[in-house]
């Protein structure tokens, strides 16, 4: 059982949940103007984890042929036989049902939005086969998190949650551009539509900086629209500084992309969440 769990964790890369979870809880805290209750905490975690599992499983299932050819991914459990295609399809269905069922338990709007959300979450793997916009589709997949958090608490979509969502969308799309630099040669050889493979590393770095500038701009809009205080603005300043640091790391040495991707972006989300909690406590 322990071995199955390790293989499953490797399949879905659970540690990547650090990118979306903080922004779900940021939205829930702002919506509730503080603590939103244990019930919504548990339902929010279950919805976020099942949605992300669904997205990763769809990605792994559809990318089996591509991953088998890429030296960086050919040892994934979806490729080396540890999980069969049938097993992955079952896991996709199970997580989709958990997500929809959890949304139903939250409120009516969450339930009806759960279906288009699943379509968007499953769309990334298709897009990269025919469009460079796949980076933004991935960003949107995680950008939906704060809207979902606001819907869970308010049963509505406030404007500030849209601002936060746009910021998260461009933040994720920007660091996905940087992460995709690792596969620039492979993507070119196999005709995949990533921005690095189509336009080169210099253009990719430039666009990633633009995307992250847009992210910071919309986080400022979020802070103003949600009428946050000093610590809300401090969160934006620190996030901007961390993104500048991330670009300096990657700009100096492409081999440190993993460090920029996991460490900097992982800390960014949790620091942002911590400062929003402090801001609401100080209000």
- What per-residue confidence (pLDDT) applies to 255? 59
Exposure of 105 by Cβ count < 10 A (0-12 exposed, 13-18 middle, 19+ buried)? middle
Q: Beta-carbon neighbour count of residue 121 at 10 Å?
A: 24
Q: Indicate the angle between helix axes 134-154 and 159-180, nearest 10 degrees.
A: 150
Q: How far is CA 201 from the centre of its chain?
A: 23
Distance CA 59, CA 159 (A): 31
Distance CA 215, CA 236 (A): 10
The two tokens of residue 124 are 């990334």
Q: Beta-carbon neighbour count of residue 55 at 10 Å?
A: 27
Q: Where are the alpha helices (DSSP H) in the chain?
A: 2-12, 21-32, 38-62, 64-69, 85-106, 108-121, 124-127, 134-154, 159-180, 184-189, 195-225, 230-252, 257-258, 265-282
- What per-residue confidence (pLDDT) applies to 252? 67
The two tokens of residue 59 are 């990605």
Q: What is the CA radius of gyration of the chain?
A: 19
- What per-residue confidence (pLDDT) applies to 258? 65
* DSSP designation for 1: -
- What per-residue confidence (pLDDT) applies to 218? 98
Determine the 3-state secondary structure of 6 from DSSP: helix
- Residue boundaries of the structural domains of the chain: 2-282
Distance CA 220, CA 215 (A): 9
Distance CA 37, CA 168 (A): 24
Per-residue pLDDT of the chain (283 residues; tens, 9 = 90+): 777 767 676 677 766 666 778 999 999 999 999 899 999 999 999 999 999 899 888 988 887 877 777 777 778 777 777 888 898 899 999 999 999 999 999 999 999 999 999 999 988 777 777 777 888 888 998 999 999 999 999 999 999 999 999 999 999 999 888 888 877 787 777 677 778 888 888 888 899 999 999 999 999 999 999 999 999 999 999 999 999 988 888 776 665 666 666 678 888 999 999 999 999 998 7
Contact status, residue 26 vs residue 146, Cβ threshold 8 Å: yes
- All residues at 6 or more sequence positions from 224 whose CB lies less than 8 Å from its CB, including other chains: none
Distance CA 229, CA 282 (A): 8
2-282, what's its fold? Answer: Tetracycline Repressor; domain 2 (1.10.357)
- What per-residue confidence (pLDDT) applies to 254? 61
Distance CA 180, CA 120 (A): 20
């Amino acid at each position: 059982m322990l071995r199955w769990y390790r293989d499953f964790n490797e399949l879905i890369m659970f540690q990547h949940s650090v990118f979306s979870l903080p922004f779900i809880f940021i939205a829930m805290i702002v919506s509730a103007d503080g603590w939103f209750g244990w019930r919504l905490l548990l339902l929010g975690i279950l919805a976020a984890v099942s949605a992300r599992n669904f997205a990763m499983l769809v990605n792994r299932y559809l990318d089996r042929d591509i991953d088998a050819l890429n030296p960086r991914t050919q040892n994934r459990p979806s490729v080396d036989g540890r999980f069969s295609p049938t097993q992955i399809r079952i896991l996709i269905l199970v997580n989709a049902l958990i997500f929809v069922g959890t949304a139903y338990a939250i409120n009516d709007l969450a339930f009806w939005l759960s279906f288009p959300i699943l379509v968007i979450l499953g769309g990334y793997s298709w897009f990269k086969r025919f469009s460079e916009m796949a980076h933004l589709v991935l960003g949107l997949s995680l950008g939906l998190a704060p809207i979902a958090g606001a819907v869970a608490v308010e049963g509505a979509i406030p404007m500030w949650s849209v601002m936060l969502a746009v910021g998260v969308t461009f933040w994720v799309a920007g660091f996905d551009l940087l992460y995709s630099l690792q596969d620039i040669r492979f993507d070119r050889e196999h005709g995949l539509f990533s921005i690095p493979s189509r336009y080169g590393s210099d253009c990719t770095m430039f666009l990633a900086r633009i995307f992250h500038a847009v992210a910071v701009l919309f986080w400022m809009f979020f802070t103003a629209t949600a009428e946050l205080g000093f610590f809300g603005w401090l969160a934006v300043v620190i996030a901007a500084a961390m993104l500048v640091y991330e670009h300096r790391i990657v700009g100096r040495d492409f081999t440190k992309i993993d460090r920029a991707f996991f460490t900097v972006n992982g800390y960014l989300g949790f620091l942002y969440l911590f400062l929003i909690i402090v801001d609401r406590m100080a209000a």
